[in-house]
Copies of this chain bind each other. A is one copy, B any other.
Amino acid sequence: MLSKKTKYGLKALAYLGYQKDRKPVQISEIAEHENISQKFLESILLSLRKSGFLSSKKGKGGGYYLLKEPNEIYMTDVMRVLEGPIAMVPCVSLNFYESCEDCPDEKSCSVHKLMLQVRDSALEVYRNNTLQDILCDKELKK
């Protein structure tokens, strides 16, 4: 199940992706437009900024803006930051590998076998999607 954090993070990224220029957008604007608690969104945006997707400006005229082009922001990276490991079990994780404490042998483990495929299929989707790809063309024209 997708966390609210991830969902809101994606929506905020999309909102910023729709902007015509790089002018900072205030947290409050995004929060209102996307029906998100402002304070919650604040902490989500902060972690996105710390991860290198966004930049921010304090003070008058401040807010958040994309640090990279939408077509350079891969969902693989975004999901790792917002949702954690893409793999459903640590023993098939590429970035956060850990062996199972309770499996005698990974090679013969059925769960491992299935989860490996699930991981690869999810990775495939994320690799093939940048922020640009998930933006709706209709909204882009506005």
Contacts and interface: CB of A to CB of B under 8 A. Distances in A.
A126 to B, nearest CB: 8
Given A89-B7, A102-B35, A134 B114 contact: yes
Number of copies of this chain in the oligomer?
2
The A contact surface, by secondary structure, is helix
A58 interface: no
A85 interface: yes
Interface string A111-142: 10111011001101110010100111011000
A100 to B, nearest CB: 9
A122 B34 CA distance: 28
Interface string A12-30: 0110010000000000000
